[in-house]
């Protein structure tokens, strides 16, 4: 099922900047990340590299930027084949990459970070001249960052600007950006796009990795689509429709028994009949009043939040990551002590309590980072299945001895019910795929028979099948009269699943409304912190 | 990696599985041991000794006869315990280097019990308890420093080792000294001694105490909720917190258990060591037992069963070394044993070592598969790789 | 307490400071790059031994050089195992300590007297006459090295590279820096400094080498590193503080009426270190990647 549509926008075959031919990458554990990918890059062009998680976009660009070697295939320039042994060699050639997880030294200032990739090893750091150079660059490019502050103290958008400056200061010809807008507000995205257009005018080539269809339409000249490591589409943006791109990206739509999902023109999954009348009918499970929480560096992360979550509803919290969502979830699940406010589950206070007590009160927590919080990777499935509930009577016998028999049985039931692929309860958790790991966590949490499920980024990094499965589970829970607090940076997901949605910006809810009442533009503005007058 | 579809479980069935599939890491330990011995052989040869004869003498001395075996076991007893000190804390994510000092304190406490008169069985038990408590207290202070002031336990336990050393010197010379013979403490009375297990050797019933303690630790760590919480905290503190586990508690518990183990080790040295049953000035019977215990812990992969085996091996090295140093025309000094131990630990620190010998790995994997098949009651559901 | 006593105290303090400060500065460089070497004790011991033998054969300078070489060699071994071979730093350090203890004890036996060996007077480094008395020239070395190290870390790009490697190796990797090589160089150099300190002990100061001449100084150096917050100038101060307490201990032992048993006096430096380390923690921030091997993903 290969739909490769090549519409080259240049006629001359030699008029290219770089060409990747037959790039294949197989990791040491056997995963095939890329299969025979070809890509031709021209000067003065913005290419959108589109694909779902795991499609191979990051792998391809890591190969282009010298961080990884290809298993097969080659990269050639008009002057002959090129081979990069390290990111530095690629930089010297003229290819620079801005990573999704910034490659910055947190304790260094912006100037020091830039100085790191320049200059001869033993010179005394001429910070003054580096700063001068940077000031000039900032003026030219329109990017502004404080140069003397340790980078870890800067806002995420500013940090990204430091990264871009770092790469630009090396005078690159090809600039690769990996999901740059996932950490930006809509306003910052516009600023970034202005910069990119300016660079294009100057004859640079730009590859933009994204999974957002709208971005592709607004900034790119060409779109290249990857799916499961294969190149499935290479079109001029003008010729492509969002539907076409979405179909290329995802392939066959995944049918679940309950519903068929189609893409509407705006790219939103089509909702079932709105349960407007049935909203807010169940009893209040979670009640939050004037909640204020501080973040790790002392600043206010959650500011004076008040909201309720009822039984039988999915309350979604949308917003660009880094606006306090993590701290909100932590405050409600015993991982962070708030500064002030009230939060109760079924009337009982949960603030300041430790996670175990909160679980006992009927709360389940699907954490946003399954490797760091949700699982102990070296532990077996069985050992992970009791994380958080290890002291509950069914698992803990006399003298605190663990009832392994019961636990193993429990795990087998979980594996059966949630279709978790593994060799058995004794398999180490790290041997499972991401999707199965998440299913284990979800199964563990649901097995607590909770009144409310706090799900933070529940489908992040999962393959489509697993993501859909988990979304269906959440809906099923809602239909069974549970309350669900869904926090997700995936706007489409939140809009599709939630009965009510709150948009979080800088620790506050900009609005709480039904998704049907909000159009994309309003949402974008709210996410960017712009208050929208009612009725407009 | 072999891709067999067998029923993996934790728990009683899994218990057998755990120690057996641990064979791969066990093989690593064996390999490290071999490498260490080879390095020792090389050095011996460079210095003009005959490594083959030396090792023959050593192994015969260690395992050749029942006397040797008993000797090796006797040397291994305190090592089991000091190894557990290190391992329990490692499992909790901590580095407790203080077994040496805690050991000294335990030994002193065991001697102190000798001043009292108690009926036979009770006296031994009192000695054990007192020694364990002393070790636990000595281990507790660094733990508290870490909890309240964030002091690196590596540094604090080492400092406490040195403080304990001089404190012990003082106690042995002035407080607990034997009025008749100034170079040792009083000998603990008959009632307070571990009975000898094998006549004519210095192996006492302390062996059972040590093994029993190791087994108890095994059950605590793998079969109780608190042990589970300790291991979780050590492997992933953030996830442990998410699971409602209080890391302060697990850390404290691990240090206490570790201190108990080291204290007991001190007791076994004093109460199980003919002919003196006392602490000798300069602490020769205790010196380095703590540090050697760490080597044993690493080779035993921080697992109680592995530790028991490794302790017997290291005990054998020492016991055999004592024989080796008198054997032949050009005997190898006892200090060579320490060199071998150091080399083994160095070899242990290289995980790639295993990967560097692919042929051995192939044999090892085959062996694992064979053993798995042998122990798997339900005959093969499908062939293994 | 007479003026002479004070001068004597000062002299001994300065002498005792040397091995601590040198080792600590070396370890600061290593830890800035991310490697935590607990095997310093073994390095000190082995280089003291090597220094004694070297001095006997070729004079004091050869002895010092021998110590440097041995220290650098151990640093090299440690770093290779823990960078290219992806080892575990704690275990390697402990292994080195065990190994060194064994080799030195063994070597001393071979040299004739188990546990003890004198360095001939003629092979010791000559002392300089100064206003406060006869001091070893090495003291000046120990006074200068921290300043050089401080300048190096703060003002050169190499220092910046070291810090990047220890704090955010992923970022340094992307910037084209060879993580393993940097760590190797840093720890080898740190080992060389420790080796110098060790050789100093036998060749320039104590004048003999015993089975446990290092007497925990390697660990005290580690504590000094913590105290210094990875600032070489503070390591100089820390070394002096320890040296002072050790000289105090020695002085008390010489008093005709012994107010305190010598055992407690010997404890003093370790207790002081403990107090200093306990009092100071909290304001110290260590490189984020300290103690973790780097794997490129």
**For the segment C135-144, what is each residue's pLDDT rounded down to a tens digit?**
788 888 999 9
Determine the pLDDT at residue A176. 94
* Average pLDDT estimate for C169-188: 86
CA distance B150 to chain A (A): 18
Contacting residues of C for A123, CB less than 8 Å apart: 156-157
Question: In the prediction, which pLDDT does B274 show?
Answer: 80
As for how many domains chain B has, the answer is: 2
Contact C92 B346 (CB under 8 A): yes
The per-residue pLDDT for B364 is 60
List the single residue in B173, B295, B352 with the smallest CB-CB distance to C85.
B352
ipTM of the complex, rounded to two decimals: 0.81
- The gap between the terminal CA atoms of chain A, to the nearest Å, is 46
Interface membership of A98 toward C (CB under 8 Å) = no
Average pLDDT over residues C24-49: 92
Indicate the residue among B307, B324, B342 that finishes a domain: B307
Contact A359 B226 (CB under 8 A): no
Nearest CB partner across the interface for C161, out of A103, A104, A121: A121
pLDDT tens per residue, range C57-82? 888 888 899 999 999 999 999 988 88
B363 and B291, same domain (yes or no): no
Rounded to whole angstroms, the Cα distance separating B297 from B94 reads 14
Interface A–B counts its CB contacts (< 8 A) at: 101
Instruction: Give the pLDDT confidence of A200-220 residue by residue, as tens digits.
Output: 998 899 999 876 677 788 899
pLDDT of residue C86: 66
By C-alpha distance, the chain B residue nearest C216 is B162
Residue C134 lies in a domain: yes
The predicted structure's pLDDT at residue C160: 87
Q: Where exactly are the structural domains of chain A?
A: 18-249, 284-527
| pLDDT of amino acid B326 | 84
Asked whether residue B326 is assigned to any structural domain, the reply reads no
What is the pLDDT at residue A344? 93
**How far does A324 lie from chain C, in Å, by closest CA?**
24
State yes or no: pLDDT of B225 exceeds 50: yes
Token pair 């100071």: residue? C280
Angle at C148 between CA C146 and CA C149, to 5 degrees: 65
Q: Kindly state whether residues B292 and B348 are assigned to the same domain.
A: no
B5 pLDDT higher than 50: no
Q: Report the DSSP pairing between strands A45-50 and A222-227.
A: parallel
Range with top average pLDDT, A412-416, B100-104, C220-224? B100-104
Q: Do B155 and C87 touch (CB under 8 A)?
A: no
Domain of C118 in residue numbering reads as 19-213
* Contact state of C105 with B338 under an 8 Å Cβ cutoff: yes
pLDDT tier at C150, thresholds 50, 70, 90: very high
Residue C65 CA to residue B76 CA, distance in Å, equals 41
- Whether residue A404 and residue B11 make contact (CB cut-off 8 A), yes or no, is yes
Q: Are residues B291 and B363 in the same domain?
A: no
Instruction: State the nearest Cα–Cα gap between A121 and chain C, in angstroms.
Output: 5
Q: Does A99 touch chain C (CB under 8 A)?
A: yes
Q: What is the pLDDT of residues A104-113, one digit of tens each?
A: 888 888 888 8
Query: Does residue B79 sit in the same domain as residue B216?
Result: yes
Does residue B55 lie in a domain region?
no
Residues from chain B that touch C92, judged by Cβ atoms under 8 A, are 346, 349
Confidence class of residue A525 from pLDDT cuts 50, 70 and 90? low
Distance of CA C33 to the CA centre of its chain: 17
- Domain presence at residue C262: no
When pLDDT is cut at 50, 70 and 90, the band that residue B353 belongs to is low
Give yes or no on whether A18-249 and A284-527 have one common fold: yes
Distance from CA of A166 to the nearest CA of C (A): 10
Considering only residues A365 and C297, tell me which one the structure prediction assigns the higher pLDDT: A365
Mean pLDDT (whole number) for B52-58? 86
- Closest Cα in chain C, distance from residue B346 (Å): 5
Q: What is the structure's pLDDT at B350? A: 73
Of A158 and B246, the one with more pLDDT: B246
Provide the pLDDT confidence category of residue B21 given band limits of 50, 70 and 90.
Answer: very low
pTM summary value: 0.79
Write out chain C residues lying below 8 Å of B162, CB-based. 216, 267, 270
Strand partners, C156: A124
Task: Quote the pLDDT of residue B8.
Answer: 37
Residues on chain B touching C218 (C-beta within 8 angstroms): none
Nearest to C168 among A67, A105, A121 (CB): A105
Considering only CB atoms, A105 lies closest to which of C164, C176, C296, namely: C164
C109 contacts on B by Cβ (under 8 Å): 333, 335
Interface of A with C in 122-141 (CB under 8 A): 122-125
Nearest residue to A475 (alpha-carbon basis) of A488, A484, A465: A484
Averaged over A75-79, what is the pLDDT?
Answer: 87
Residues 6+ apart with CB under 8 A from A192: A180, A181, A184
CB nearest to C106's CB, from B288, B333, B348? B333
Comparing CB atoms, the residue among B333, B347, B351 nearest residue C86 is B351
Give per-residue pLDDT as tens, A120-150. 566 666 777 778 888 888 887 777 788 888 8
- Read off the pLDDT band of A280 (50, 70, 90): low
Contact B333 C103 (CB under 8 A): no
Q: Which residue of B has its CA nearest to A398?
A: B224
Give A528's pLDDT tier (boundaries 50, 70, 90): low
In-domain check, residue C247: no
Contacts of A120 in chain C (CB under 8 A): 157
Contacts with B298 (C-beta within 8 Å, 6 or more apart), sequence order: B345, B348, B349, C91, C94
Q: Looking at the domain assignment, is residue C96 inside a domain? A: yes
Mutation target to probe the A interface, by most A beta carbons within 10 A, among B244, B249, B253, B385 is B244
Q: How far is B307 from chain C (nearest CA, A)?
A: 16
pLDDT at site B359: 53
Mean pLDDT of chain C: 83
pLDDT at position A520 is 67
Q: Quick one: closest CA in C to A163, which residue?
A: C171
Say which range, B170-184, B313-327, C157-171, C178-192, has the weakest mean pLDDT: B170-184
Among residues 427-446 of chain A, which lie with CB inside 8 Å of chain B?
A: 427
- Asked if B243's CB is within 8 angstroms of A408's CB, the reply is no
Length of chain C: 297
pLDDT tens sequence across A288-333: 999 999 887 667 889 999 999 999 999 999 877 677 899 999 999 9
Q: How confident is the model at residue B263 (pLDDT cuts 50, 70, 90)?
A: very high
Average pLDDT over chain A reads: 81
Structural domain range at position B12: 8-49+333-371
**Chain C interface, mutation test: which of B155, B173, B344, most C Cβ atoms within 10 Å?**
B155
CATH placement of domain A18-249: 3.40.50.300
pLDDT in tens, B176-214: 888 888 788 888 888 788 888 888 888 888 999 999 999
Judge whether B184 lies within some domain. Answer: yes
Q: What is the number of structural domains in chain C?
A: 1
Contact check, Cβ <8 Å, B241/A355: yes
Torsion sign across C-alpha atoms A456, A458, A462, A468: negative
| Dist CA B232 CA B244 (whole Å) | 11
Higher per-residue confidence, C230 vs A462: C230
Check residue C3 and give its pLDDT: 78
> What's the sign of the alpha-carbon dihedral B237, B238, B242, B247?
positive
Name the band, by pLDDT with cuts 50, 70 and 90, for residue C87.
low
- Chain A hits for C176, CB-CB cut-off 8 Å, are 86-89, 91, 117
pLDDT computed for residue A10 by the predictor: 43
Given A88, A104, A122, which is nearest C157 (Cβ)? A122
Residue C188: the pLDDT is 94
Cβ contact (<8 Å) for C160 and A89? no
Residue C55 CA to residue C64 CA, distance in Å, equals 7
Contact across the interface for B151 and C281, Cβ inside 8 Å = yes
pLDDT for the residue numbered B363: 62
Q: What are the b/e assignments for A125-163, b being 16+ CB within 10 Å?
A: bebeebbebbeebbeebebebebeeebeebebbbbbbbb
**CB–CB contact B167 C267 (8 Å):** yes
**The pLDDT value given to residue B256:** 96
- What span, in angstroms and rounded, lies between the C-alpha atoms of A205 and A175? 6
Mind listing the pLDDT tens digit for each residue in A186-202?
677 888 888 899 889 98
Lowest mean pLDDT among B157-166, B376-385, C188-197: B376-385
Query: C156 CA to chain A: closest CA distance, Å?
Result: 4
Decide: helix, strand or coil at residue B302: coil
B253 assigned to some structural domain = yes
| Helical (H) or strand (E) element with A408 | helix A404-417
pLDDT given for residue A26 in this prediction: 85
Rounding to the nearest 10 degrees, give the CA dihedral for residues C151, C152, C153, C154. 40
From the list B291, B335, B340, the residue facing C109 with the nearest CB is B335
Question: Among all residues of chain B, which has the CA nearest to that of C215?
Answer: B162
CB-based contact A401 B223, cutoff 8 Å: yes
List Cβ neighbours of B266 (8 Å cut-off, separation of 6 or more).
Answer: B78, B102, B103, B104, B105, B106, B107, B108, B109, B110, B131, B134, B135, B286
Q: What is the reported pLDDT for C158?
A: 86
Question: Within this chain, do residues B163 and B264 fall inside the same structural domain, yes or no?
Answer: yes
Closest-approach residue (CA) in chain C for B171:
C263
Query: pLDDT value at position C125?
Result: 67
Kindly tell me if the per-residue pLDDT of B298 is higher than 70. Answer: yes
Q: Nearest CA of chain C to the CA of B117: how many Å?
A: 30
Query: Which chain A residues are closer than 8 Å to C186 by Cβ?
Result: none
What sections of chain B are H helices per DSSP?
A: 12-21, 23-46, 51-59, 66-91, 99-113, 120-149, 153-170, 206-223, 225-235, 237-242, 247-271, 289-299, 304-324, 335-348, 352-356, 358-375
Inspect the interface and report whether the beta carbons of B14 and A426 lie closer than 8 Å. Answer: yes
CB pairs < 8 Å spanning A and C: 69
Mean pLDDT, chain B, integer: 82
Whole-number pLDDT of residue A1? 34
Whether C40 maps to a domain, the answer reads yes
Given the candidates 3.30.420.40, 3.30.800.10, 3.40.50.11540, 3.40.50.300, the CATH classification of the domain at A284-527 is 3.40.50.300
Give the pLDDT band of residue B255 (cuts 50, 70, 90): very high
């Amino acid at each position: 099922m290969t739909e490769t549509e090549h519409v080259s926008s240049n006629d001359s075959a030699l008029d290219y900047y770089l060409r990747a031919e037959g790039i294949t990458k197989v990791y040491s554990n056997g995963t095939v990340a890329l299969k025979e990918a070809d890509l031709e890059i021209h000067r003065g062009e913005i290419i959108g590299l589109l694909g779902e998680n795991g499609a191979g976009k990051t792998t391809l660009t890591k190969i282009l930027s010298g961080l990884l070697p290809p298993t097969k295939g080659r990269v050639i320039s008009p002057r002959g084949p090129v081979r990069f042994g390290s990111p530095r060699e690629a930089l010297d050639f003229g290819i620079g990459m801005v990573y999704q997880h910034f490659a910055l030294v947190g304790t260094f200032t912006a100037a020091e970070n830039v100085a790191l990739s320049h200059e001869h090893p033993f010179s005394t750091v001429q910070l003054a001249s580096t700063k001068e150079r940077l000031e000039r660059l900032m003026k030219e490019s329109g990017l502004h960052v404080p140069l003397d502050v340790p980078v870890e103290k800067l806002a995420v958008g500013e940090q990204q600007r430091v990264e871009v400056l770092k790469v630009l200061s090396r005078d690159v010809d090809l600039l690769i950006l990996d999901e740059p807008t996932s950490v930006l507000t809509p306003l910052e995205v516009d600023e970034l796009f202005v910069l990119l257009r300016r660079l294009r005018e100057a004859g640079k080539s730009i590859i933009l990795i994204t999974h957002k269809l709208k971005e592709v339409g607004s900034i790119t000249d060409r779109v290249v689509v990857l799916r499961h490591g294969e190149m499935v589409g290479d079109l001029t943006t003008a010729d492509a429709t969002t539907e076409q791109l979405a179909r290329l990206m995802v392939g066959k739509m995944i049918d679940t028994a309950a519903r068929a999902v189609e893409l509407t023109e705006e790219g939103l999954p089509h909702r079932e009949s709105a349960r407007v009348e049935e909203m807010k009918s169940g009893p209040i499970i979670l009640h939050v009043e004037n909640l204020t929480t501080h973040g790790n560096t002392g600043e206010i992360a959650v500011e004076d939040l008040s909201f309720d979550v009822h039984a039988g509803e999915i309350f979604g919290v949308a917003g660009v990551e880094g606006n306090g969502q993590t701290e909100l979830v932590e405050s409600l699940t015993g991982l962070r002590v708030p500064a002030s406010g009230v939060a109760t589950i079924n009337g009982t206070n949960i603030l300041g309590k430790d996670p175990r007590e909160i679980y006992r009160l009927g709360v389940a927590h699907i954490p946003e980072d399954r490797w760091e919080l949700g699982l102990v990777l070296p532990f077996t499935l069985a050992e992970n299945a009791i994380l958080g509930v290890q002291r509950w009577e069914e698992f803990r016998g006399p003298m605190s001895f663990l009832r392994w028999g019961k636990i193993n049985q429990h795990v087998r039931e979980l594996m059966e019910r949630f279709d978790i692929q593994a060799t058995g309860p004794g398999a180490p958790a790290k041997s499972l795929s991401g999707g199965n790991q998440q299913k284990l966590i979800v199964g563990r949490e649901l097995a607590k028979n909770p009144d409310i499920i706090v799900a933070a980024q529940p489908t992040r990094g999962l393959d489509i099948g697993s993501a859909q499965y988990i979304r269906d589970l959440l809906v099923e829970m809602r239909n069974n009269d549970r309350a669900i607090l869904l926090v997700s940076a995936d706007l489409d997901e939140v809009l599709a699943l939630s009965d009510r949605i709150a948009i979080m910006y800088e620790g506050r809810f900009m609005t709480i409304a039904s998704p049907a009442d909000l159009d994309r533009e309003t949402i974008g503005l709210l996410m960017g912190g712009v208050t929208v007058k009612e009725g407009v | 990696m072999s891709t067999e579809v067998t029923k993996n479980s934790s728990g009683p069935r899994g218990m057998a599985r755990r120690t057996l599939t641990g064979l791969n890491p066990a093989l690593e330990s064996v390999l490290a041991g071999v490498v260490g011995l080879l390095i020792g052989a090389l050095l011996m040869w460079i210095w003009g000794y005959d490594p083959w004869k030396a090792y023959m003498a050593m192994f015969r001395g260690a395992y050749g006869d029942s006397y040797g075996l008993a000797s090796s076991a006797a040397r291994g007893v305190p090592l089991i315990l000091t190894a557990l000190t290190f391992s329990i804390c490692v499992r909790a994510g901590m580095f407790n280097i203080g077994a040496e000092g805690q050991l000294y304190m335990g030994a002193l406490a065991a001697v102190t019990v000798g001043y009292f008169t108690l009926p036979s069985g009770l006296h031994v038990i009192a000695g054990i308890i007192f020694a364990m408590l002393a070790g636990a207290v000595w281990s507790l202070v660094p733990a508290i420093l870490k909890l309240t002031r964030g002091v690196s336990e590596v540094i604090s336990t080492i400092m406490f080792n040195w403080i304990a050393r001089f404190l012990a010197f003082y106690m042995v010379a002035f407080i607990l000294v034997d009025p008749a013979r100034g170079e040792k403490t009083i000998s603990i009375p008959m009632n307070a001694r571990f009975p000898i297990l094998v006549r004519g050797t210095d192996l006492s019933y302390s062996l059972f105490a040590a093994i029993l303690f190791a087994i108890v630790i095994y059950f605590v760590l793998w079969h109780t909720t608190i042990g589970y919480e300790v291991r979780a905290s050590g492997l992933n503190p953030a996830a442990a917190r998410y699971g409602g586990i209080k890391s302060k508690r697990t850390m404290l518990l691990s240090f206490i258990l570790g201190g108990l183990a080291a204290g007991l080790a001190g007791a076994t040295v004093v109460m199980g060591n003919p002919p003196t049953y006392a602490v000798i000035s300069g602490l020769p019977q205790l010196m380095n037992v703590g540090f050697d215990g760490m080597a044993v812990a690493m080779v035993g992969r921080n697992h109680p069963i592995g530790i028991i085996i490794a302790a017997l091996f290291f005990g054998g090295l020492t016991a055999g070394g004592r024989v080796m140093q008198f054997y032949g025309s050009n005997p190898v000094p006892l200090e060579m044993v320490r060199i071998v131990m150091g080399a083994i630990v160095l070899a242990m620190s290289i995980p790639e070592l295993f990967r560097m010998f692919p042929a051995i790995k192939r044999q090892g994997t085959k062996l694992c598969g064979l053993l798995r098949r042998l122990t798997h009651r339900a005959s093969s559901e499908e062939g293994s790789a | 307490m007479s003026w002479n006593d004070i001068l004597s105290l000062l002299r001994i303090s300065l002498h005792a400071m040397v091995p601590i400060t040198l080792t600590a500065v070396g370890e600061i460089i290593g830890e800035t790059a991310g490697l935590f070497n607990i095997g310093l004790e073994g390095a000190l011991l082995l280089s003291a031994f090597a220094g004694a033998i070297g001095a006997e054969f070729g004079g004091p300078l050869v002895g010092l050089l021998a110590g440097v070489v041995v220290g650098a060699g151990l640093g090299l071994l440690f770093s290779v195992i823990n960078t290219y071979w992806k080892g575990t730093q704690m275990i390697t350090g402990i292994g080195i300590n065990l190994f060194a203890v064994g080799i030195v004890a063994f070597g001393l036996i071979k040299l004739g007297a188990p546990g003890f060996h004198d360095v001939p007077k003629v092979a010791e480094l000559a002392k300089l006459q100064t206003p406060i008395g006869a001091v070893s020239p090495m003291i000046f070395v120990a006074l200068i090295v921290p300043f050089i190290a401080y300048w190096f870390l703060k003002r050169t790009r190499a220092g910046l590279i070291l810090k990047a490697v220890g704090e955010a190796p992923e970022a340094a990797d992307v910037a084209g820096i060879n993580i393993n090589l940097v760590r190797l160089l840093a720890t080898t150099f740190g080992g060389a400094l420790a080796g110098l300190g060790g050789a100093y002990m036998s060749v320039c100061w104590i004048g003999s080498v015993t089975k446990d001449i290092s007497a925990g100084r390697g660990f005290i150096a580690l504590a000094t590193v913590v105290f210094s917050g990875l600032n070489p100038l503070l390591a100089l101060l820390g070394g002096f503080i320890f040296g002072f307490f050790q000289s105090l201990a020695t002085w008390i032992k010489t008093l005709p009426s012994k107010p305190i048993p010598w055992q407690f006096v010997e404890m003093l430096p370790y207790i002081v270190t403990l107090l200093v380390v306990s009092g100071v923690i909290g304001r110290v921030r260590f490189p984020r990647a300290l103690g973790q091997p780097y794997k490129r993903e």
